[in-house]
Structure 1
């Protein structure tokens, strides 16, 4: 079970998040028809479909409504093509007050609450689980373990497992989601374990640190798990599948949904888009946004002016320091010019003649033969 909650921001208490998959055709048409009905009935105050942008692979729809307590809610739904077909949707809603689970579900402000509608498939496990229906666990133990492992790592929806102590009747086979408060109805995934699957289920959940009581239920911690998650606090000893509202289970699910939980993967970007890229503005909001922009530009201009003045002051001080330095350093004598080597003076004609005679005289003496002296002083023949 993941415990890396410190690196993720906590989901604000005013925020409602959900994610799912629409498996049918023409998801945009379903949204438009339902929105028109809600606007005509006065349920939704404003509804806007943003123009399609070629470079952005998603459609975005915004809506605004008021709860029964007069609290304004803003919501943003993005629709994109899913890897397994269909259209995946992500919904983020934020109220002006902490979220009350008794308020209408934001999902119903975009999708019709028709039992045959194709929009309520869970999108994280890839098993086409339903948000508003019972999801029996697979009979194969290996497939069951894989499914529960993926469900325990889910962060957008709240997964819980109910064990049937005995095979229920028709009323007990109805989904428990219909008995939950509206604000929880489309955020939970109900898994049902048959009577004989209890041991296999608990063996598959042992790594999550939770166990399903016989005939009871347990809420899976998700990933990242809430800090200081207490498995016993979210385990319900008895769930009567007789059509009555399971008060203890509803209380556990409501408490888990309201607990400080880390934002799931990708939710930070979705929440930022809801807050900063909102288009469905009232006149007061447009004026407030323009005032904020004017203030931001004024602050930026003031910062630029201050920076320019500081730079100018620094430049003036640098010039003054340079001038003072130049005045304080005495003038140095210029270095002497480097003398260039001169060619030797040309010899005069008299000197050339003298040198020639010296060479001739010295050469004659050197060529006098040694045998001349022997002829003069030698014996007569």
Structure 2
């Protein structure tokens, strides 16, 4: 049984992790269309669309492991491979799931995405999310696990005090994302309502969720943060929220920005603080650890060189297994011959053991040897 624990392992600096919910009617079809279009455009090297049962049974690079199994609620498994910075290969694995329990209509389809590069992840590389999902407002793939919260947009905090505190608590609990709360000093125009996440590098943009507090929410937001997270919300400023459990490297003062001008210009200080926070080591939660294991141990989309290396490794494995079987057979035969010789030297009248040969229907060579040796148990015989 899985234990509820926080893994002491940190997220590798080569990995990109994300998850969310798709509220549209055809999530898998949206993924397929995007993958086909990007491969045709030369953005992707290749991709695979797998049934989860077959994907679990036909793990290629590693022996099957229960953590590499997508699970019974999995709907579809997608793999994609592309290159960045000319020669750096990125491998990504996306699995779609039915909501747990199907408690109500509109829960959508849950998705989990893990990507890993051959070297340290550069935030200026393309977002793995847009390799699978179209970066269009018409495709609702970007809903967070917490209802009413989305990526790619500003999420206004609830008006109710209790709901606001629950929102903050839920968003910081073992979150895979960076959560930022921005307070509007005054009601902004259309340019000011633009998410500050649009100013982030592509590889970081879909790892950050932006929350907004309206001008009249200054006190209630400050009170809720002080009570739940031991933080203060500056008027007209922003706070990058810690995760729970809180990272010892988190410095509340360091990740608080006193002034953010929501006039459509780039909030340089806030963008720098977000990038700095995202670069901190963070614990690898059990769910994220399983997603990364599925990527590494359940991979199927091999390059020609990888297929050749895999075939060669299988030949070596079979040769080693055959050699072990041959050695075992020879040792068994030598032991039987030595026992036969020892019995012959024991004296006349001792029955000779049968020569080891193919197993008969009424017994094996080992049982014949056991019966012969059993004759010596009685000293009067």
Same structural fold, with TM-score higher than 0.5 when normalized by the shorter chain: yes
Q: Which consecutive residues of structure 1, in runs of 5 or more, have no partner in the other structure?
A: 318-333, 335-381
Counterpart position of 1:102: 124
Q: 1:159 aligns with which of 179, 197, 213?
A: 179
Q: What is the CA-CA distance between 1:16 and the residue it aligns to?
A: 0.3
Q: Is 1:87–2:104 an aligned residue pair?
A: no
Secondary structure at the counterpart of residue 20 of structure 2? strand
Q: 1:117 aligns with which of 131, 139, 150?
A: 139
How far apart are the structure 1 equivalents of 2:324 and 2:158?
A: 64
How far apart are the structure 2 equivalents of 1:181 and 1:209?
A: 29
User: What pairs up with 1:123-202 in 2 under 5 angstroms?
Assistant: 123=145, 125=146, 127-202=147-222
Counterpart position of 2:290: 269
Query: 300-309 vs 7-16, which deviates more?
Result: 300-309
Alignment: residue pair count: 321
Secondary structure at the counterpart of residue 233 of structure 1? coil
Q: What is the CA-CA distance between 1:178 and the residue it aligns to?
A: 1.5
Query: 132-141 vs 28-37, which deviates more?
Result: 28-37
Q: Deviations over 1:291-334 (max 9, x none)?
A: 344555666777888999999999999xxxxxxxxxxxxxxxx9
Secondary structure at the counterpart of residue 137 of structure 2? coil
Which structure has the bigger radius of gyration?
Answer: 1
Q: Is 1:251–2:272 an aligned residue pair?
A: yes
Pair 203,304 (structure 1): closer, same or farther in 2 beyond 3 Å = farther
Query: 285-294 vs 231-240, which deviates more?
Result: 285-294
Q: Deviations over 1:209-238 (max 9, x none)?
A: 332222111111123433332222221122
CA contact (8 A) 1:15 1:99 kept: yes
Counterpart position of 1:331: none
Q: Deviations over 1:159-211 (max 9, x none)?
A: 11111111111110111122111011111111001122222222222332332
Q: Deviations over 1:38-67 (max 9, x none)?
A: 111111110110135386632000111111
Query: 280-289 vs 100-109, which deviates more?
Result: 280-289
Counterpart position of 1:70: 87
User: What pairs up with 1:21-100 in 2 under 5 angstroms?
Assistant: 21-51=21-51, 53=53, 57-83=74-100, 85-100=107-122
CA contact (8 A) 2:257 2:270 kept: yes
Pair 81,302 (structure 1): closer, same or farther in 2 beyond 3 Å = same
User: What pairs up with 1:230-241 in 2 under 5 angstroms?
Assistant: 230-241=251-262
